[in-house]
Amino acid sequence: MKTIYSIMKREMNGYFGSPVAYVFIVIFLILCGFFTFQFGDFYNSNDASLRTFFVWHPWLYLFLIPAVAMRMWAEERRTRTIELLLTLPVTLPQAILGKFLAGWLFIGIALLLTFPMVITVCYLGDPDIGQIVAGYIGSFLLAGCYLSVGSFASSLTRNQVVAFIICLVICLFFVVAGWAPVTDALASSVPLSVANFIASLSFMYRFDSVQRGVIDTRDLIYYASVITFMLAASSVVLTSRKAS
Amino acid sequence: MIQVQHLIKLFGSFRAVDDVTFEVREGEVLGFLGPNGAGKSTTMRMLTGFFPPTSGTAKINGFDIIKDPLEAKRQIGYLPENAPVYPDMTVEGYLKFIAEVRGFSGQELKKKVARAVEICSLEKVLPQTVDTLSKGYKQRVCFAQAILPDPPILILDEPTDGLDPNQKFEVRRMISSMAENKCVILSTHILEEVDAVCTRAIIISNGKIVANGSPEELKRRSSLYEAVTVSLDNVPKDEALNALSALANVERVEILKETPEALVLRALPAGGSVIAPAVAEEIRRRGWRSTQFHVEEGRLDEVFRNITRQ
C-alpha cells in the first residue's frame, strides 16, 4: 500500500513538474466551458442542471485522456527507467496501480476545477444537487475507464504518439458503440440482441444512465470491470515486453 | 550470499544465458567479463528480478528469486546499464523517492539519503534535475540509488562505462571501499578494472561460463605468464638469441625492438615454468649490460581473447 502511494506521489509530481499538467487543465476547462455554452446552448435550455455540461465529457476525454496516459509506460520503456523501477522491491501490479491512480487523481483535480459551473447553476436556479453529484461521479468513473485503456495502450509501445493513437482508437470504439447513429445502424443490420450487447459495452450507455442521476450497481460493476480488465491487460503486456 | 543454479534464458530460440551456475560469497567482488551480447546483462537482469529465468533459479542472501522475488529484491542494490534515472526529477527528489519505495521514512529516510549523497559527493547537484547532469554525475546518482538502502548485495552493470579516467577511478574507489562486508557483482569489458577491483572474475561467452577464477589464476593461462622481457645494450642479435634460446624451459625468444644500440627481447617459458632466474644468471655470466628486466604476470586481454574467440 505504501509502495503504491510512493509511486503515485512520484507520478503526481511528474505531472505537475511538467507543462503537460497545466496545459491539460487549462484546455480541459476552456473546452468544457466552450462546449457547454456555445454548442450546448446552456442558457436557452432554460434548465438549471449540468446536463449540457456533462454530455460533452466523453468526447473531451477522447482526446485529452490519451494525452495524459500516453507517457505512463511508453516513456518508462523508452528511457529504460522501467528496469530500475521493477527491480526495486515493487511488484508489477503495484507499479501499474500507482501510475493509474496518479493519473486518475490528476484528472479528478481537473474535474473539480470545473466547480464554477456548479456555482453558476446554483446562482441561476435551483438544481438537483444529487444529480450533479452523480454526474461528477459518473464522469470521474468514465475518466478512469479511458485512463485504464490509456495504460494498456501505453504499455504496448515505446512511442508516446503511437500510444496516444492506440488509446484514442480503442476509446473511440467504446464511445461510438453506444452512440445513437451507430446503434441505429447496427439495429437495422444485425439481430437486436447482438446490437444491444454491443451497445451495452459502450461507455455512452453507462454514462447516460449515471447522468440521469442514478448510480446503479450494474454501472459500477461495469466501470470496475473495464478498469480491472485494462490494467490486467497492461500487466500481461508489460510482463512479456518490458525488456524489449 | 548469491547462489546461481543452472540459470537459462531463452529469447525465442536464442539461448542468451545457457546453464550458468556460480556462487559469490561475502567480501567478494566478482567481475563479470565477456564480449558484448555474451549474456552478462541478461544474467544480471534475472538476478535482480527484472525478468524471470526460463529455467533454473538463484538464491539471493537466502531468498529465492522465483519463490520470494520481493524479499530477494530487497537484498539488492542495482545499477542498470546506462544509469536510467528519471530525467525530469531532481537528484534530491529522486533519492527520496527511492528511499520511500525502499520502505524508509522520517529521520531514517533523511539519514539514508544524506549518507548516499555523501558517499557519492552529490551535494552540489541536489536541486538540479537529472537531465541537466553530465554523464558522470548521472552515473553517480544511479550509484547512490543502488547503495542507498545499504544492501548486502550490489549488482552493477558496467558501472564505469562512458566515464573519464578520473571518474572511473572514483567509482572504483567507491566500490572497493564498500566491498568489505558486501557481495558485489559488476560487469565490465574493461580488463584493467578486473585487476583494479575484482577478487574474482567470471568470463562468459555465448551465454556460457568459460572461465572462473581470481585475476591471477586467469592470467596464468596467458602464454605470456612468467615470460621475461629484457633490454640489452650493444649485444649482437644472433648471440643473444642463441644464448637465451638454449636455456632450459625457454620455448622461444622473440625480438620486440631492435635499434643499433639496444635490443629488446622476450623469452617465453614452456608451460608456465619459471625462467627468470636462469635468464638473469645467463646475462650476468656473459657480462651483458641490461637496462630493463621484467617478468610478465600474464595478460588478461590475451586470455580473454583466446577464451572468447572460439
3-state secondary structure of A113: coil
Strands B208-213 and B55-60: unpaired
CB contact under 8 A, A10 and B89: yes
Under 8 Å between Cβ of A173 and A226? no
Instruction: Collect all residues with Cβ–Cβ distance below 8 Å to B97 and sequence separation of at least 6.
Output: A6, A9, A10, B89
Helix, strand, coil shares of chain B, percent, nearest 5, are: 35, 30, 35
pLDDT digits (tens, 9 = 90+) for B140-188: 999 999 999 999 999 999 988 878 888 888 888 888 888 888 899 999 8
B51, B87, B103: residue with CB nearest A79? B87
**Secondary structure tally for chain A: helices H, strands E:** 14, 0
- Give the model's pLDDT for residue A123: 87
Confirm or reject contact between A3 and chain B (CB < 8 A): yes
Please indicate whether, in this complex, the C-beta atoms of A6 and B100 are within 8 angstroms of each other.
yes
A10 to B49: CB separation less than 8 angstroms, yes or no:
no
Q: Do B45 and A83 touch (CB under 8 A)?
A: yes
Res. A244 pLDDT band, cuts 50 70 90: low
Q: Do A18 and B85 touch (CB under 8 A)?
A: no
Residue of A nearest to B102 (CA): A89
Residues 100-159 of A with CB under 8 A from B: none
* Residue (of A166, A167, A165, A187) closest to A178 by Cα position: A187
> Taking CB atoms and an 8 Å limit, are B145 and A84 in contact across chains?
yes
Q: What is the pLDDT of residues A208-222, one digit of tens each?
A: 777 777 788 888 898
A211 residue type, one letter: Q
Instruction: Please report the DSSP string for A205-230 in residue order.
Output: HHHHHHHTT---HHHHHHHHHHHHHH
**Confidence grade of residue A206 (pLDDT, cut at 50, 70, 90):** confident
**Average pLDDT score over chain B:** 87
The alpha-carbon gap from A148 to the nearest alpha carbon of chain B, in Å, equals 23
A84 to B82: CB separation less than 8 angstroms, yes or no = no
pLDDT at B95 over 70: yes
Q: At CB < 8 Å, which residues of chain B contact A?
A: 45, 48-51, 69-71, 73-74, 76, 78, 80, 82, 84-89, 93, 97-98, 100-103, 142, 145
Using an 8 Å CB-CB cutoff, list chain B residues near A243.
45, 50-51
C-alpha–C-alpha distance, residues B118 and B121, integer Å? 5
Angle at A142 between CA A136 and CA A145, to 5 degrees: 150
Nearest beta carbon to residue A81 from set B45, B48, B86: B86
Q: Is A224 on the interface with B (CB under 8 A)?
A: no
Q: How many CB pairs below 8 Å do chains A and B form together? A: 70
Backbone dihedral region of B206: left (phi > 0), alpha (psi from -120 to 50 degrees) or beta?
A: left
Tell me if chain B has a CB within 8 Å of the CB of A7.
yes
Q: Who among B70, B97, B103 is closest to A10 (CB)?
A: B97
Determine which of A88-97, A120-129, A220-229, A230-239 has the lowest per-residue pLDDT on average.
Answer: A120-129
* pLDDT on residue A48: 67
Distance (Å, rounded) from C-alpha A71 to C-alpha A73?
6
Inter-CA distances, B47 with A95, B43, B114, B199, B307, Å: 20, 6, 28, 20, 25
By the CB < 8 Å criterion, does A93 face chain B? no
Is the Cβ pair B50, A89 closer than 8 Å?
no
Query: Would you say the ipTM is above 0.85?
Result: yes
pLDDT tens digits for range B215-266: 888 888 777 788 888 888 877 878 878 887 888 788 888 888 888 778 888 8
Assign B19 to helix, strand or coil. Answer: strand
What is the pLDDT, as a whole number, of residue B100?
93
Give A-chain residues touching B70 at CB under 8 angstroms.
89, 91
> Cα distance from B295 to chain A (closest Cα, Å)?
45
Give the pairing type, strands B153-157 and B14-24. unpaired
Q: How much is the average pLDDT of A27-41? A: 83
Taking phi over 0 as left and psi of -120 to 50 as alpha, with beta for the rest, B296 belongs to: beta
Residue B58 predicted with pLDDT over 80: yes
Give the number of other Cβ atoms within 10 Å of residue A31's Cβ.
15
Q: Are B101 and A83 an interchain contact pair (Cβ–Cβ within 8 Å)?
A: no
Q: Do A6 and B101 touch (CB under 8 A)?
A: yes
pLDDT at position B168, please? 86
Please tell me which of the candidates A2, A6, A79 has its beta carbon nearest to residue B84: A79
